[in-house]
DNA sequence: CCAAAAGTGTTCGAATTACACCCATGA
DNA sequence: TCATGGGTGTAATTCGAACACTTTTGG
């Protein structure tokens, strides 16, 4: 049974916008790939590829990301779909963008070299191919909205982190300073962090206490109508 | 020059989720179509169709909506893209959903009959084909979030409306009562409504003052960092 | 002992909530 | 005149913003 005959078919791609947070540099970084095929071969792009016959969009995004970067089991979430006629000069391609937040240490140290993947600060991005600049801008705006209302910040930090690091992350995203006392008051009042018996001693003599995000406690609160709101200053 | 050869091509559809507000019934309604082709011919669906070779996704959505309902110049905004393998039993189809808010009087009175389009309350929707139920649920959730932070409510009301009607709309969306005095205080304090010299006299002896949304004033405020927030009770 | 970063409370104004009665009118 | 729906204000509380000093410790 052949249905829908006569309807035009399209090339469909997925593009993965991967953000990570660099604790040392206090910068959000974006994963970029040197494009290996024409057109625009050698130019910077996000990790993308075509959707195959026998895979869902979500599966395609995971596969493409794994192939280009080695990153596996990422929590990719669909962002937006781009379908202007001439967005890709090589052919008419419809592209579905996905984004993910990762802990930078999840990328094995040599993977970057191995896969021609590079991390670049979102503050100094190079020119990207096609409409990838727009895709990134859209995803970033979405991330900035999300982080106010969902505890997505913890996806970008290691298991153990200090309150100073968490605050630095918010400042990196908002690009403005945040009041330390108000920030701590607010996040601690949510009761979703556990203070550990261990200090981070690299960056100060005094040392800063490590904390841990308690996902289970957050989920219980959520079920009871708790509303995460870290809209600071 | 044939690039990207060997990559699989896909059927791509757009589906339009059109919401309207029925002032008299105080209900949000959804535009449904009796499907005219196999599979699932005669079943309820939202307005959809395939994307052609020479049109953008946005253009396809407008065209499809116009053809099926007569609705023209709608402000459609892209919601989400659905790409599971078996979502459409007829073939592998990737579908991009769009949604729009319209004033119910924008639909010419006989258009419904003419085009086999029907308005159904979102509270008692029939079974929809494929994953259209999910699409609608997703769009509705999005609308509920939006209406808190953007003055989208005015898209659903006629040019002139009363504060009671506006409040009824919010209650229809939230499905819970809203405090009358606090609601009025908040919306009037925003200074984006103009009281007209005219009363709505159909529903009460006293009559309720008509108001008008002043889009220009809203836009000026927005530019100055004003933040619409009608998160009530 | 001192430099450097971590940690800690209070006050003030604004915003949000809860709540009940009077008003205007047509029938 | 009365039934119906429209319109109004205030007090109590909570929330958000601003703000500066003390603590710890390795060198």
Residue B116: pLDDT band by 50, 70, 90 thresholds? confident
Between CA B106 and CA B126 the distance in angstroms is 24
Asked if the C-beta of B36 comes within 8 angstroms of chain A's C-beta atoms, the answer is no
Which bases of chain D are contacted by protein, using any atom under 7 A from a CB?
A: 3-10, 16-20, 23-26
* Cα A181 to Cα A69, A207, B67, B68, distances in angstroms: 39, 18, 58, 57
Among B202, B32, B17, which Cα is nearest to B115's?
B32
Adjacent-strand bridge partners of B49 = B14
CB contact under 8 A, B57 and A83: yes
Q: How many CA atoms lie within 13 A of A198 on its CB side?
A: 10
Find, in chain A, the residue whose alpha carbon is nearest to that of B53: A8
Among B182, A128, B183, A136, which Cα is nearest to A144's?
A136
Asked if the C-beta of A84 comes within 8 angstroms of chain B's C-beta atoms, the answer is yes
Asked whether A171 and A26 are in contact (CB, 8 A), the reply is yes
pLDDT surpassing 80 at residue B233: no
In the numeric block, which tokens belong to residue B49?
């169709």
- For residue A231, how many other CB atoms are within 10 A of its CB? 10
CB contact under 8 A, B7 and A11: yes
Q: Are strands B44-45 and B27-34 parallel, antiparallel or unpaired?
A: antiparallel
CA of A183 to C1' of D19 (A): 14
CA distance A107 to chain B (A): 28
Asked whether B20 and B28 are in contact (CB, 8 A), the reply is yes
Asked whether A28 and A175 are in contact (CB, 8 A), the reply is no
Q: What are phi and psi of A36, to 5 degrees?
A: -105, 0
CA of B45 to C1' of D22 (A): 66
CA of A132 to C1' of C22 (A): 61
Between CA A11 and CA B126 the distance in angstroms is 34
Among A75, A99, A118, which Cα is nearest to A14's?
A99
pLDDT digits (tens, 9 = 90+) for A69-118: 888 889 999 999 999 999 999 999 999 999 999 987 766 555 556 677 89
Adjacent-strand bridge partners of B118 = B32
Confirm whether any atom of chain C, the nucleic acid strand, is less than 7 Å from CB of A150: no
Q: How many CA atoms lie within 13 A of A162 on its CB side?
A: 17
Three state DSSP letters for chain A = CCCCCCCCEEEEEEEEEEEEEECCCCEEEEEEEECCCCCCCCCEECEEEECCCCCCHHHHHHHHHHHHHCCCCCCCEEEEEECCCCCCCCCCEEEEEEEEEECHHHCCCCHHHHHCEEEEECCCCCCECCCHHHHHHHHHHHHHHHHHHCCHHHHCCCCEEEHHHHHHHHHHHHCCCCCHHHHHHHHHHCCCEEEEEEEECCCCCCCEEEEEECHHHHHHHHHCCCCCCCCCC
Among B49, B17, B20, which Cα is nearest to B107's?
B20
**Whole-angstrom Cα Rg for chain A:** 20
Find, in chain B, the residue whose alpha carbon is nearest to that of A57: B83
* Mean pLDDT value of segment B96-111: 80
Asked if the C-beta of B94 comes within 8 angstroms of chain A's C-beta atoms, the answer is yes
What kind of architecture, by CATH, is found in domain B11-148? Alpha-Beta Complex (3.90)
Amino acid B38: pLDDT: 87
Q: What is the mean pLDDT of chain A?
A: 93
Among B50, B34, B27, B43, which Cα is nearest to B117's?
B34
Range from A10-14, A55-59, A221-225 carrying the lowest mean pLDDT: A221-225
Helix (H, G, I), strand (E, B) or coil at B143: helix
* Mean pLDDT value of segment A124-150: 96
Find, in chain B, the residue whose alpha carbon is nearest to that of A98: B81
Adjacent-strand bridge partners of A195 = A211
Residue B119: pLDDT band by 50, 70, 90 thresholds? very high
Question: What residues in B contact A96, CB-CB < 8 Å?
Answer: 81, 83
Adjacent-strand bridge partners of B21 = B28
* Cα B180 to Cα A6, A61, A91, B160, B177, distances in angstroms: 55, 48, 56, 19, 9
The number of C-beta contacts closer than 8 angstroms across A and B is 90
pLDDT digits (tens, 9 = 90+) for B4-51: 999 999 999 999 999 999 999 999 999 999 998 989 999 999 999 999
Would you list the domain boundaries of chain A? 11-148, 152-223
Q: Position of tokens 């065209």?
A: B63
In the numeric block, which tokens belong to residue A34?
């040197």
* Mean pLDDT value of segment B213-222: 95
Confirm whether any atom of chain C, the nucleic acid strand, is less than 7 Å from CB of B232: yes
Confirm whether any atom of chain C, the nucleic acid strand, is less than 7 Å from CB of A209: yes
Asked whether B126 and B44 are in contact (CB, 8 A), the reply is yes
Q: How many CA atoms lie within 13 A of A9 on its CB side?
A: 14
A152-223 — its CATH code? Answer: 1.10.10.10
In the numeric block, which tokens belong to residue A90?
């090589």
Between CA A221 and CA B73 the distance in angstroms is 44
Confirm whether any atom of chain D, the nucleic acid strand, is less than 7 Å from CB of B160: no
* Mean pLDDT value of segment B64-93: 94
Among A30, A158, A35, which Cα is nearest to A105's?
A158
CA distance B140 to chain A (A): 17
pLDDT digits (tens, 9 = 90+) for B147-158: 999 999 999 999
| Helix A132-149 × helix A163-174 angle, to 10° | 130
Q: What are phi and psi of A191, to 5 degrees?
A: 70, 35
Please tell me which of the candidates B10, B54, B57 has its beta carbon nearest to residue A9. Answer: B10
pLDDT surpassing 60 at residue A212: yes
Question: What residues in A contact B79, CB-CB < 8 Å?
Answer: none
CA of A200 to C1' of D25 (A): 13
Asked if the C-beta of A129 comes within 8 angstroms of chain B's C-beta atoms, the answer is no
């Amino acid at each position: 049974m052949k249905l829908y005959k006569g309807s035009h078919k399209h090339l469909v791609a997925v593009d993965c916008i991967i953000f990570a947070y660099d604790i040392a540099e206090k910068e959000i970084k974006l994963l970029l790939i040197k494009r290996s095929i024409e057109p625009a071969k050698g130019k910077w792009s996000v990790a993308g590829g075509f959707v195959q016959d026998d895979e869902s969009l979500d599966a395609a995004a995971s596969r493409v990301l794994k192939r280009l970067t080695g990153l596996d089991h990422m929590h990719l979430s669909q962002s937006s779909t781009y379908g202007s006629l001439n967005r890709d000069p090589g052919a008419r391609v419809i592209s579905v963008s996905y984004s993910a937040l990762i802990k930078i240490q999840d990328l094995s140290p040599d993977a970057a070299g191995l896969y021609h993947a590079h991390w670049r600060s979102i503050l100094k991005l190079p020119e990207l191919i096609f409409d990838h600049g727009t895709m990134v801008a859209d995803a970033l705006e979405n991330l900035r909205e999300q982080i106010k209302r969902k505890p997505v910040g913890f996806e970008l930090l290691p298991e153990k982190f200090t309150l100073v690091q968490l605050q630095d992350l918010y400042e990196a995203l908002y690009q403005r300073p945040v009041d330390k006392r108000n920030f701590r008051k607010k996040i601690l009042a949510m009761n979703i962090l556990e203070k550990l018996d261990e200090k981070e001693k690299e960056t100060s003599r005094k040392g800063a206490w490590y904390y841990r995000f308690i996902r289970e406690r957050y989920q219980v609160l959520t079920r009871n109508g708790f509303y995460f709101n870290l809209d600071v200053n």
